[in-house]
Amino acid sequence: MNLESIIRTVPDFPKPGIQFKDITTVLKDPEALKYCIETFHEKYKDQRITKVVGIESRGFIVGTALAYRLGAGFVPIRKPGKLPATVLRQEYQLEYGTDVIEIHKDAITPGERVLLHDDVLATGGTMQAACSIVKQLGGEIVGISFLIELAFLHPRKKLSGFDIFSLVTYNAE
């Protein structure tokens, strides 16, 4: 399936000069959505994954369905103040400033085999922070998956040593 032909590009969103890759066009297409979930399932079905960790918020959509298909649990990583129980926080650098993500402290037990999922791999900063927080809980990161990878931003530099799988890769803006 040619997902690139289904993904919508929105110019100048969220600010001038950005060519935003919108996955809602993939999500609303039953065959495209099924293709995404089944392709990820095929890649990871033999990896004995016990938890799929999805990053707020679009990582929740495919991540939850993938966890179901893999027979694994689903764990959300959220922005600060969104999780009700005791959390572990991870601060990370943005281009201009910092941000924070949180996970429940009891979400992953040491030795669990974890797949992290998000919709887009851009600079790699958020996923790098997510990997750090999962490792702090003792999770073994089996892989990292994305619908879209913006390779021209060189995100893999921040994620070296991890098995990264993306369905669509953009090598130029």
Question: Which residues are known catalytic residues?
Answer: 58, 95
Q: Pseudo-torsion of CA 49, 160, 32, 16, nearest 10°? A: 140
Contact 59, 117 (CB under 8 A): yes
CA atoms within 13 A on the CB side of 26: 26
Cis peptide bond N-terminal to 57, omega within 30: yes
